[in-house]
A and B are shown apart, each in its own frame.
Chain A
């Protein structure tokens, strides 16, 4: 099954959860948030969210910044 993660095509097994994807991307620790098809997801719901073909996932974290 193919999904789009931060703009890149990614192949994941069928019935992959968002939690599993985030673990695969080393994104479960710290402050990361995931949007699924432009909707912000609740971290606690990640284990119950099953990904579908062509889902778009954006994974966002904090970085150093002052202005652009």
Chain B
């Protein structure tokens, strides 16, 4: 009997995750469906953001809609500098929601590309303070190596600009990170379709984080299921080892070339 790999859990900072799918909670048309979507996704990590409270209104508490069996990972979105990211991380901790933090430092309002240098600075500080730090970065090898040296728990390169659903535009750069970095590489932002999540996993990514593609789907629950299956399929394919790719456009028969059923011509 062929044995399958049954012990393939992703560990981040010693925490065993139940799946390799991370999901964001922005842009959903309402919060009420969120628990069902998160369960359909079998998501292991769920991201939230911090913002100024809407004063005087009885705003819903988003945490009421996040199941207990996931890891909550607030992000530092809105931060334009390392100091602002650190401040948001401190606020997040003060709100009693654990020590996981996705560092996101963005001052480019057009493409929303991360500032790797400020991200590195924020990560250095927050790792020293005991946070489990997952920095969102442009897929640059040297930045990723420096982040690893600081003690971050994973690196999160983008696939395409945030919310664009444009797919894995940074494929070759992400592959370099996967090949050269010893920490988990979680592909974040820009993934628009389950097939693209599967592609990330086939390449050896440790996990993917998706938000817009699920939240803006016609049926978010069904899309969450599709992403979950795609992540599993991609991971299984990676573990199986992708078959060789021919260097030419000619074919290579996968069936034997002898013993045909038709009569040989004289």
Q: Which residues of A contact B (CB under 8 A)?
A: 5-8, 25-27, 29-33, 35, 40, 42, 58-68
Taking a contact as CB atoms under 8 Å apart, the answer to whether A64 and B48 are in contact is yes
Q: Other CB < 8 Å A-B pairs besides A64-B62, A66-B25, 8 of them?
A: A6-B52, A31-B96, A33-B94, A60-B91, A61-B59, A62-B49, A62-B95, A65-B211
Taking a contact as CB atoms under 8 Å apart, the answer to whether A6 and B112 are in contact is no
Taking a contact as CB atoms under 8 Å apart, the answer to whether A65 and B75 are in contact is yes
Say whether B256 faces chain A, with CB atoms less than 8 Å apart: no
Taking a contact as CB atoms under 8 Å apart, the answer to whether B55 and A40 are in contact is no
* A interface footprint on B127-142 (CB within 8 Å = 1, 0 otherwise): 0000000001000000
Taking a contact as CB atoms under 8 Å apart, the answer to whether A59 and B52 are in contact is yes
Give Cα distance in the complex from A66 to B49, angstroms: 7
B25: chain A residues at CB < 8 Å are 64-66
Say whether B192 faces chain A, with CB atoms less than 8 Å apart: no
Task: Among A30, A35, A58, A68, point to the contact of B63 (Cβ < 8 A).
Answer: A30
B112: chain A residues at CB < 8 Å are 67-68
Taking a contact as CB atoms under 8 Å apart, the answer to whether A60 and B47 are in contact is no
B90: chain A residues at CB < 8 Å are 40
A26-B56, A31-B63, A40-B90 as given contacts; A67 in contact with B51, CB under 8 Å: no
Output the nearest chain A residue to B210 by Cβ-Cβ distance: A66
Taking a contact as CB atoms under 8 Å apart, the answer to whether B104 and A64 are in contact is no
The number of residues on chain B lying at the interface, defined by a beta carbon within 8 Å of a beta carbon of chain A, is 47
* A interface footprint on B51-92 (CB within 8 Å = 1, 0 otherwise): 111011111011110000000001101100000000000110
Taking a contact as CB atoms under 8 Å apart, the answer to whether A25 and B53 are in contact is yes
Among B53, B91, B95, B212, find the residue whose CB has the most chain A CB atoms closer than 10 A.
Answer: B53
A6-B52, A25-B55, A62-B74 as given contacts; A31 in contact with B97, CB under 8 Å: yes
B74: chain A residues at CB < 8 Å are 62
Give Cα distance in the complex from A8 to B51, angstroms: 15
A30-B64, A66-B24 as given contacts; A58 in contact with B94, CB under 8 Å: no
Give Cα distance in the complex from A68 to B163, angstroms: 9
Taking a contact as CB atoms under 8 Å apart, the answer to whether B27 and A64 are in contact is yes
A25-B55, A40-B91 as given contacts; A61 in contact with B50, CB under 8 Å: yes
Task: Among B55, B61, B162, point to the contact of A67 (Cβ < 8 A).
Answer: B162
A27: chain B residues at CB < 8 Å are 53, 55
Give Cα distance in the complex from A50 to B223, angstroms: 50
